[in-house]
Structure 1
């Protein structure tokens, strides 16, 4: 397993985060339509990244392998480049978000069974459901929180 570290993100690195986001979404969100990815991409770059506290996982050369975004004790985003999956990056970013940024909640696309299983494995449970996502699109969202909170 390659070594990596959790680090802060510079605004100048946002385009790299969007590349990681798009690669990750294409690998894991097969329920999204192409027009949805095109719709969300500028929102990620120009709005969503500024709305969260960002952390990334970097390899030994400083390359970003994945990232997380937190706001109000909620994990708003966690994306790992498909080439870096299975290396423990998601777990490390989640552990950091829980331990250092006090994350207690996460919202997950209902159709994203991999993410749902990942969060359940790390102690989250479903506590609610919304029929539409935050943009009003027909992608149901499961609201999860850490057990025992």
Structure 2
């Protein structure tokens, strides 16, 4: 199924955070509850405003997946767990590569599903950081698209 990809309005940020939280709980098993609670207000109040957001919507217009891009880098891509495996992430990533010229992404090393997803699309790890961007002990793989 092809999903409509469009922009996200600031008035939709709470819906985006709901998708983010559901996705993180389904995929980021290495995070502690206090980490999720730490990141949630940062996502809502800071991180979403720092990127160009695009959404994938279902037939009734609900956001089922989203991505954020800044400076030709994919900063975030999250799919609601009820919609995983239906090609939404692939469609969003292809859109980002083809239309937004992204060629970089950082991914949690412990999220092996995501690492494999990006490798499938031709991204390769070029560097590893032992801490995430907030200084937490979650290693990050810095990946680049190989042409």
SS state at 1:21 partner: helix
TM-score when normalising by structure 1:
0.97
Corresponding residue number in structure 1 for 2:104: 105
Corresponding residue number in structure 1 for 2:22: 23
Corresponding residue number in structure 2 for 1:41: 40
Unaligned runs of 5+ in 1: none
SS state at 2:136 partner: coil
Would you identify which runs of 4 or more consecutive aligned residues in structure 1 move more than 2 Å?
none
Distance apart, 1:4 and its partner CA:
1.9
Aligned residues, how many?
147
Equivalent-residue separation in structure 2 for 1:111 and 1:56 (angstroms) = 25
Give CA-to-partner distance per residue, 1:56-102, whole Å, 9 cap, x none: 00111101000000001110000000000011000000011111111
Unaligned runs of 5+ in 2: none
TM-score when normalising by structure 2:
0.98
Equivalent-residue separation in structure 1 for 2:97 and 2:51 (angstroms) = 15
Give the alignment's Cα RMSD to 1 decimal.
Answer: 0.7
